[in-house]
Amino acid sequence: MPTNFTVVPVEAQGEERQRDGRQREEENEGDERDRGTGDGIARESSPFISSAELGRGNMYDGKNMALFEEEMDSNPMVSSLLNKLANYTNLTQGVVEHEADEDSKRKEVKGPQMGTFIGVYLPCLQNILGVILFLRLTWIVGTAGVLESFIIVFMCCACTMLTAISMSAIATNGVVPAGGSYYMISRSLGPEFGGAVGLCFYLGTTFAGAMYILGTIEILLTYISPSAAIFKVADGEETETMLNNMRVYGTCIIILMAIVVFVGVKYVNKLALVFLACVILSILAIYAGVIKTAFDPPDFPICLLGNRTLSKRSFDVCAKFTESNNETKTTPLWRLFCDSSLLNATCDEYFSLNNVTEIQGIPGIRSGVLTDNLWSAYSEKGSVVEKKDQPSVAGSEESKMGGLPYVFTDIMTYFTMLVGIYFPSVTGIMAGSNRSGDLKDAQKSIPTGTILAISTTSFIYLSCIVLFGACIEGVILRDKFGEAVNGNLVVGTLAWPSPWVIVIGSFFSTCGAGLQSLTGAPRLLQAIARDGIVPFIQIFGHGKANGEPTWALLLTAGICEIGILIASLDSVAPILSMFFLMCYMFVNLACAVQTLLRTPNWRPRFKYYHWTLSFLGMSLCLALMFICSWYYALIAMLIAGCIYKYIEYRGAEKEWGDGIRGLSLNAARYALLRVEDGPPHTKNWRPQLLVLLNLDNEQLVKHPRLLSFTSQLKAGKGLTIVGSVLQGIYLDKCVETQKAEENVKALMGVEKTKGFCQIVASPNFRDGISYLIQSAGLGGMKHNTVLMAWPQSWKQTENRFSWKNFVDTVRETTAAQQALLVAKNIDLFPTNQERFTEGNIDVWWIVHDGGMLMLLPFLLRQHKVWRKCKMRIFTVAQMDDNSIQMKKDLQMFLYHLRLNAQVEVVEMFENDISAFTYEKTLMMEQRSQMLKQMQLSKNEREREAQLIHDKNTASRSALAVEASVAAAALEKVQMTWTKEKFVAEKHKNKDSNASGFKDIFNMKPNQSNVRRMHTAVKLNGVVLNKSQHAQLVLLNMPGPPKNRKGDENYMEFLEVLTEGLDRVLLVRGSGRELWFKNLPSEMYTVSQICV
């Protein structure tokens, strides 16, 4: 049914107040610059506080509110707020803007003055009662019978009544501005549901306009002026000819109506009262006619041949022949069934075997015809309308065919099809909520007026069903176009004083309803477009200077033309039924969700609602959708689903405090409470990442590739928390913290990293990292893995993420039983746009700490960046190991893990420590000792540290060739450290350094450090030999020493271990077993390869 939509932004106050506000702002501009907001925190803007009033800084001086005077600019006095709330208005667009544009002299718009009767009751009455009542209700009663028709109407009216209850609760929970049902659904269920259902409701309103226009043309060409048809009826093509006429006339009327709406919207709204008067007069004429049939039934005879109804368009005398002057003459009816007018002519078999009888089409309410019309009479397409219990002699089937003057059914009829045709007659219940801005008290008028209107129209429909069945003969009821009563409108034959009251009244009613649809639908589309949630329709938010939706009107006319080209009112009605039912279903869902969530803001003034009623209404709407047409229902749901996903993927993000968000929060809380606080089962384990980022002085991320690697590793699965630390006190760093969070979230969006952001301000950078590791996450949703970048500049002692912070982070992750991933050379890692077409991901499995080393390559290869890389696993065999058996065991292990990877066992033999290793260890310890002993200024310490670093670099360059040859030959070439070489090296150091450092350069390296450096150098040589060209190398990360005095040496060991590799991921497991619990018991022996 047509719906009036008015879209109007709330205008600012008058020009005078704006000038006054600007003047006050200029006067207090200096004070505003100097005066803070109390605590220095920006306040959220209020729609009730204008910017002009924020400038009143001195009006509270000397008053008794001095305790709060510093916050008066952002937190107004209660009296001021209440004054703004009392003066708040929500004027609608449409007529108000249109008239304001034409009458520019009018400076003020009067406040809303409409009451319940004029503002809600009558508009709903006009929109609910319409074309189906006049053109199809009698046919539905005759086809389905009184009982089934009563069920159809009761179901539809119950659906709208339950929806009205839910709508009343939503509408009285706040102001409902332009958009009506769209606004209610979108603000209750979120922009995705709101946009999807709003567009479906728009399509329903648009197709409703097409249905009313088709009804207008049907009344014109069938009952008012049949001669106006452009295409004339040919033999056997009456239905197709009628459809072509409706297409031509419908297109012309759409163009005409679109011009009327474009030029003069206010005239359409002012004529609404005239159209409503036509509807009311027509209904009163029906009731008056029913009363009249009790004592004086109208004379509308119908002609029957046997039990078959005859169309009286081609003859006037209901007889085979007549007697005149003792002479028998054949009638025009005879000539329709016989080949000549002679009495001995050859006639149709059924015509010859049956008599022609004439009965009253409207026998009256006291005739008892109600018992005959109680039951259904469904039929196939093209069958003859027959009277029950009428004697007849069956003839051949051919007698029903051809151009004989029978009344045929034009479509196949069944119960569910009639539901789809009837349902549009009960729509239009949103008319009151759409006018909420024009109402004096919307929260009182909308529930009262809407429920009263539905009650009234339900009574009218249900009573009409009984009265039609009690007054009109069944064959007339099933005669859709009134062919048996000389082409009169069937319901018109019952009306008093004349059938023309119904014909003219229904014509103007349907014409006005079509205009209302073409007026309301563009405004609904404009409201959706202006919300900006569906990007591709934003152009339809624009219009003329006065706000008229010109582009939306053109689109509406185009879609309406699609319905006109369908041309059949019975085919268009189920389409719009789907869209209206979907809208009503989500109104009920919105009320049910809000009621069950019990949000503090859910306080409707309308108290007679319950979530069970809303769920019943939602279920009834869904059932009616599939009862009407299951394939139309699926198509409508598919359209709504596509729009929903489009808005979710591309639409603008809106935060309206909707119920779906609240439902998500409740579901998240329920799920978190159900998730066990302990570690998950091995089958459900996956890395839940805490990503530690470094920020620069501008709060920008230093290493964006770390987030790229995160998205490649996670692929949107599991938990990801991106954290960082700002050094300082939170009160001083709150602005920087917000800026940093915005920057990180923006980068997460660019890198498609789905997760949460947490920025911590801490006086000590080290403590901030500790806070994140301990407290990030919630309940069972906590991280189990920490991902961080290798501190490239760890040798610069003033770097805030120094080696000390790094080593302490490693220790804390171990203490928290969390895994640790350290990406070295992170800036060389691929972005999400890069693709590796070949290469290897090499895993160096040195020790077994849970099996995470083999899980990570599998996860990485799920992402398109790493998908074409092959996985290789290397493990190290010691002197006493059987490398051949180790390889077989490892292959069997991977088979049971269902991993495809190449396996290689690398043998490392014991040998003497090389000169390079010894010198490397010596330089490391000298540097550490020197920094401990020197009590110099900052610049001097940096200079001395750089001196030793340069010496270290030169020494490494001199021995690089020797180290590479040693690695390539698998330690066959050995260099032994002798006493003579040690003395020579010691003298060299003495000659090259200042005499002040004699004690440092006379020191001997610690044997434990020498052995550790020896392992690092040997492993680095083996890894370089096998994996120097790999796309990514994963290595077991050794733990830091238990003695904290050697932390700086630990960093040097890791540096040597990974030297010469482009992309390295150091992995330190949490100690939790990830693989062996899922393997057969005999496979536990494989773990011995890691010992």
- pLDDT at residue 590 is higher than 50: yes
Q: Where are the alpha helices (DSSP H) in 675-792?
A: 705-714, 730-750, 765-775
pLDDT at residue 979 in the model: 47
pLDDT at residue 853 in the model: 83
- Three-state DSSP class for 204? helix
Q: Model confidence at 1020, in pLDDT bands (50, 70, 90)?
A: confident
Measured CA to CA in angstroms, residue 735 lies from 741, 757, 765, 913, 954 at distances of 10, 16, 18, 55, 47
Cα dihedral sign, 188-191-193-198: positive
Token couple for 1051: 């960093």
Maximum Cα–Cα distance for the chain, whole Å? 158
- For the ranges 404-418, 537-551, 1006-1020, the lowest mean pLDDT is seen at 1006-1020
C-alpha–C-alpha distance, residues 359 and 473, integer Å: 9
- pLDDT at residue 17 is higher than 70: no
pLDDT at residue 72 in the model: 58
- Higher-pLDDT residue of 343 and 662 is 343
Q: Do residues 205 and 520 make contact, with C-beta atoms less than 8 angstroms apart?
A: yes
Per the omega criterion (within 30 degrees of 0), is the bond before 680 cis? Answer: no
- The DSSP output letter for 689 is E
502-532 residue pLDDT tens: 999 899 888 888 888 888 888 888 888 888 8
- Higher-pLDDT residue of 521 and 547 is 521
- Higher-pLDDT residue of 933 and 734 is 734
The phi, psi pair for 540, rounded to 5°, reads -80, 0
Cα dihedral sign, 230-232-233-237: negative
DSSP symbols for 369-401: GGGTTSS-----TTPBPB-TT-------GGGGS
pLDDT at residue 911 in the model: 58
- pLDDT at residue 967 is higher than 60: no
pLDDT at residue 997 in the model: 45
Residue from 851, 847, 841 nearest 896 by CA:
851
Q: Model confidence at 947, in pLDDT bands (50, 70, 90)?
A: low
pTM score, whole prediction:
0.70
Q: What is the mean pLDDT of residues 961-986?
A: 42
H/E element holding 1035? strand 1032-1036
- pLDDT at residue 27 is higher than 50: no
pLDDT at residue 262 in the model: 86
- pLDDT at residue 970 is higher than 60: no
Q: What is the mean pLDDT of residues 1062-1076?
A: 77
Token couple for 691: 């990503």
pLDDT at residue 449 in the model: 92
253-295 residue pLDDT tens: 999 999 988 887 777 777 778 888 888 899 999 999 999 998 8
Neighbours of 10 (CB within 10 A): 12
pLDDT at residue 454 in the model: 95
Q: What is the mean pLDDT of residues 418-423?
A: 93
- pLDDT at residue 50 is higher than 60: no
- Three-state DSSP class for 321? strand
Residue with tokens 């900052």: 938
- Higher-pLDDT residue of 676 and 1027 is 1027
- pLDDT at residue 1081 is higher than 50: no
Q: Model confidence at 679, in pLDDT bands (50, 70, 90)?
A: low
Burial letters 338-375, b for 16+ CB under 10 A, else e: beeeeeeeebbebbeebebbebbbbbbbebebeebbee
What is the dihedral angle through the alpha carbons of 1076, 1082, 1083, 1086, rounded to the nearest 10 degrees? 110
- Higher-pLDDT residue of 475 and 516 is 475
Instruction: Say which amino acid occupies 144.
Output: A
- For the ranges 371-380, 399-408, 464-473, the lowest mean pLDDT is seen at 399-408
- pLDDT at residue 910 is higher than 90: no
C-alpha–C-alpha distance, residues 568 and 247, integer Å: 9
- pLDDT at residue 206 is higher than 60: yes
Q: Model confidence at 797, in pLDDT bands (50, 70, 90)?
A: low
Cβ contacts of residue 371 below 8 Å, gap of 6+? none
C-alpha–C-alpha distance, residues 42 and 735, integer Å: 10
Q: Where are the alpha helices (DSSP H) in 568-700?
A: 569-597, 611-628, 630-650, 659-674
- pLDDT at residue 704 is higher than 80: yes
Q: Model confidence at 951, in pLDDT bands (50, 70, 90)?
A: low
C-alpha–C-alpha distance, residues 911 and 922, integer Å: 19
What is the pLDDT of the chain when averaged over all its residues?
78
Q: What is the mean pLDDT of residues 907-934?
A: 57
C-alpha–C-alpha distance, residues 428 and 81, integer Å: 37
Q: Model confidence at 142, in pLDDT bands (50, 70, 90)?
A: very high
Burial of 611 (0-12, 13-18, 19+ CB in 10 A): middle
pLDDT at residue 1040 in the model: 84
pLDDT at residue 933 in the model: 54
Residue from 788, 791, 823, 811 nearest 1047 by CA:
811
Q: What is the mean pLDDT of residues 291-301?
A: 89
